[in-house]
Structure 1
Amino acid sequence: MTVDAILESIPPLAVYLVVGLIIGLESLGIPLPGEIALVSAALLASRHTLDISPVWVGAAATIGAIIGDSIGYTIGRRFGMGLFERLGTRFPKHFGPGHVALAKQLFSRWGVWAVFFGRFIALLRILAGPLAGALHMHYGRFLAANASGAVCWAGGTTAVVYYLGLAAEKWLARFSWVALVIAIIAGIGLTLLLRERTRTLIAQLESEHDWETLRKRE
């Protein structure tokens, strides 16, 4: 069985449900590859042989993001900042002191805008809902920023990837693979650069946290 045959056998509804579920769980606070799921589904929608609608992909991602963030907000409101301390001991790569400190710093500086733009940043996509609840952000303001951010992120990402997928088929029919390989390498390089910058900030904040903890003990 060919790859195309396998893809054509996948029900579109299953794609929408998987996208909504993964993004919803990520928004709730569980570190899952929500952006990868969204991009993959949008690419599938760009294939004319598949009956997957980009509109429904974007809608599923938006609904999952709003519901997941709202549940995460409720959990954070219920358990407070102590929740992150417990999670930090079990999942230090995602909820370590540096991660939480950086997110709190962004929240303190930008307020509800951190919720809106946090949808575009991997760290805040996981922490935004629970942290907003733990910091007792007004739910009405949180919901407005959450919903508008989800619509822009999910709709924008789906549209961009979908039309790039359509264009890629035409380009590959006219040009060599060289341009595509260069574009992919450039995209990966930029992603790695942004991730390294985030890791550096987190490492600095974790060092400050460790020094502060040691000083208090003394």
Structure 2
Amino acid sequence: MAPPLPGPLVHLAPLLTHYGYWAVGAVVLVEDFGIPAPGETILIAAGIYAGAGQLNIVAVTVIAFAAAVIGDNIGYLIGHTGGRAVVHRWGRYVYLTPERFRKAEEFFTRHGGKIVVVARFVEGLRQVNGIIAGTSGMPWRRFLVFNAIGAALWVGLWAALAYTAGTHITAVYAVITRYQLYALIALGVLIAALVLRHLLRRRHQE
């Protein structure tokens, strides 16, 4: 029996239960060429399932890696062949406005190839880094190398952490249940402190 997924992962349970590896590959793939999809979230959820014995962690890792690399290369192809005109025309449908794209492209150009690796771990950049690499004129082979390195690190990190959590899912839930009240209190105090800080800053500026 598949383990219950915690909090924000719970909505992915039916998808993983019915489609398994196909779900992992499809969601990671489409996220990586710009379509808003929970690629990172489903990778973590699949890792937990694997740790609980419902999926094979090697298969999850290989499929997620392949989907990530292929998805980014589709993005590169879109950017390389269609250029900014495609982004400006269709980007708004995937929440990629011209302003957001301009800022991302400037950041990308400033940091060069290494940002392809780093972008894998940054929400927003992960979805468009292939497109930006294509529009900015980065050589495809260079992009492919950095992209593969980033995908390997990203998949390896989240799959390993999630798999470890999945193998100890009963203990994890016991800890969550035991300390959730304290965590909620701490979160409430933190939010109150941030609001107070914001109000004091506004008063000081006035």
Task: Note whether the superposition's TM-score is higher than 0.5.
Answer: yes
Do the aligned partners of 2:165 and 2:172 also contact (CA within 8 Å) in 1? no
Report Cα offsets for 1:160-181 as digits up to 9, x if no partner. Answer: 11112323423545x5713356
Equivalent pairs, count: 179
- Root-mean-square deviation over aligned CA pairs: 3.0
Report Cα offsets for 1:87-134 as digits up to 9, x if no partner. Answer: 24x43x720133212211221221111111111112111111111111
Residues of 1 paired with 2:113 and 2:180: CA distance? 38
Report Cα offsets for 1:186-210 as digits up to 9, x if no partner. Answer: 89xxxxxxxxxxxxxxxxxxxxxxx
5+ residue gaps, structure 1, are 188-218
5+ residue gaps, structure 2, are 4-12, 188-206
**2:63: which partner in 1?**
60
**CA shift for structure 1 position 70:** 0.8
Spell out the pairing of 1:67-78 with structure 2 (5 A cutoff): 67-78=70-81
Residues of 2 paired with 1:45 and 1:96: CA distance? 37
- Aligned AA for 1:121? V
Do the aligned partners of 2:57 and 2:163 also contact (CA within 8 Å) in 1? yes
Do the aligned partners of 2:2 and 2:52 also contact (CA within 8 Å) in 1? no
Spell out the pairing of 1:116-195 with structure 2 (5 A cutoff): 116-172=117-173, 175=175, 177-179=177-179
| CA shift in 2, pair 1:108/1:71, >3 Å | same
Report Cα offsets for 1:37-69 as digits up to 9, x if no partner. Answer: 111111111214x2x111211111100000111
Spell out the pairing of 1:33-112 with structure 2 (5 A cutoff): 33-48=38-53, 50=54, 52-88=55-91, 90-91=92-93, 94-112=95-113
Residues of 2 paired with 1:124 and 1:34: CA distance? 13
